[in-house]
Chain A
Amino acid sequence: MLQEAALTETKTETHPVTGADLLLKALEKENVEVIFGYPGGAVLPLYDKLYHSKILHVLPRHEQGGIHAAEGYARISGKPGVVIATSGPGATNIVTGLADAMMDSLPLIVFTGQVATGVIGSDAFQEADILGITTPITKYNYQVRSIEDIPRIVKEAFYIASTGRPGPVLIDIPKDIAAGIADQPEEEKEVNLPGYQPTLKPNYLQIRKLTEAVSRSKKPVILAGAGVLHGRASIELKDYAEQQQIPVIHTLLGLGGFPASHPLFIGMAGMHGCYAANMGLTECDLLINIGARFDDRLTGNLQHFAPHATVAHIDIDPAEIGKNVPTSIPIVADAKEALEQLILQDGKPPAHKEWMETILRWQEEYPYFYDKESGRLKPQKVMEMLHSKTEGNAIVVTDVGQHQMWAAQYYRFNKADRWVTSGGLGTMGFGFPASIGAQLADPEACVLAICGDGGFQMSTQELAIIQELNLPVKIIIFNNMALGMVRQWQEIFYESRFSHSKIPVQPSFVKLAEAYGIKGYVIQSEAEAEEVLDDVLHNREPVLIDFRVDPDENVYPMIAPGKGLHEMAGVKP
Chain B
Amino acid sequence: MKRIICLTVMNRPGVLNRITNLFSKRNFNIESISVGLSEHEGMSRITCVVHVEDSGASEQITKQLNKQIDVIKVTDITDQSIVARELALIKVQAVPYTRNEIYSLIEPFRASVIDVSKDSMTVQITGESDKVEAFIDLIKPYGIKELARTGTTAFPRGTQRPSQQSKSYSIV
Which residues of A does B touch, CB under 8 Å?
131-132, 135-136, 139-140, 143, 145, 160, 193-196, 199, 203, 317-319, 322-323, 326, 332
Contact of A319 among B60, B70, B172 (CB under 8 A): B60
Q: Total A-B residue pairs with C-beta atoms closer than 8 Å? A: 45
Contact of B72 among A145, A195, A203, A319 (CB under 8 A): A195
A470 to B149, CA, bound (A): 65
Contact of B68 among A195, A322, A326 (CB under 8 A): A195
Q: Given A136-B25, A195-B71, is A318 in contact with B66 using a C-beta cutoff of 8 Å?
A: yes
| Chain A residues whose C-beta falls within 8 Å of the C-beta of B69 in the assembled complex | 139-140, 160, 193, 195-196
Q: Mark B68-85, 1 if CB is under 8 A from A, else 0.
A: 111110000000000000
- Nearest residue in A to B67 (C-beta to C-beta)? A319
Q: Which of A136, A160, A318, A326 has the most CB of B within 10 A?
A: A318
| Chain B residues whose C-beta falls within 8 Å of the C-beta of A131 in the assembled complex | 14
* Nearest CB of chain B from residue A262's CB, rounded to whole Å: 33
A-B contact pairs, 20 of them (CB 8 A): A131-B14, A132-B17, A136-B21, A139-B69, A145-B13, A193-B69, A195-B9, A195-B68, A195-B69, A195-B70, A195-B71, A203-B172, A318-B63, A318-B66, A319-B63, A319-B64, A319-B67, A322-B56, A322-B59, A323-B63
A199 touches B172 (CB 8 A): yes
* Nearest CB of chain B from residue A490's CB, rounded to whole Å: 29
Q: Judge whether B140 is part of the interface by a CB distance below 8 angstroms.
A: no
A319 to B21, CA, bound (A): 17
A194 touches B21 (CB 8 A): no
Contact of A135 among B21, B60, B71, B72 (CB under 8 A): B21
Q: Judge whether B10 is part of the interface by a CB distance below 8 angstroms.
A: yes
* Residues 49-64 (chain B) with a chain A CB within 8 angstroms: 56, 59-60, 63-64
* Residues 68-119 (chain B) with a chain A CB within 8 angstroms: 68-72
| Chain A residues whose C-beta falls within 8 Å of the C-beta of B145 in the assembled complex | none
* Nearest CB of chain B from residue A140's CB, rounded to whole Å: 5
Contact of A332 among B17, B21, B172 (CB under 8 A): B172
B18 touches A318 (CB 8 A): no
- Nearest residue in A to B17 (C-beta to C-beta)? A135
| Chain A residues whose C-beta falls within 8 Å of the C-beta of B18 in the assembled complex | 135
| Chain A residues whose C-beta falls within 8 Å of the C-beta of B60 in the assembled complex | 319, 322-323
| Chain A residues whose C-beta falls within 8 Å of the C-beta of B1 in the assembled complex | none
Q: Judge whether B134 is part of the interface by a CB distance below 8 angstroms.
A: no
* Nearest CB of chain A from residue B55's CB, rounded to whole Å: 10
- Nearest residue in A to B68 (C-beta to C-beta)? A195
| Chain A residues whose C-beta falls within 8 Å of the C-beta of B172 in the assembled complex | 199, 203, 318, 332
A79 to B67, CA, bound (A): 22
A326 to B57, CA, bound (A): 12
- Nearest residue in B to A131 (C-beta to C-beta)? B14
* Nearest CB of chain A from residue B93's CB, rounded to whole Å: 41
Q: Judge whether B171 is part of the interface by a CB distance below 8 angstroms.
A: yes
Q: Which of B14, B22, B172 has the most CB of A within 10 A?
A: B172
A332 to B67, CA, bound (A): 13
Contact of A318 among B10, B71, B171 (CB under 8 A): B171
A194 to B9, CA, bound (A): 10
A143 touches B17 (CB 8 A): no
* Residues 1-17 (chain B) with a chain A CB within 8 angstroms: 9-10, 13-14, 17
Known: A145-B13, A195-B10, A195-B68. 20 other contacts (CB 8 A): A131-B14, A135-B14, A135-B17, A135-B18, A136-B21, A136-B25, A143-B13, A160-B69, A193-B69, A194-B72, A195-B9, A195-B71, A318-B63, A318-B66, A319-B67, A322-B56, A322-B60, A323-B60, A323-B63, A326-B56
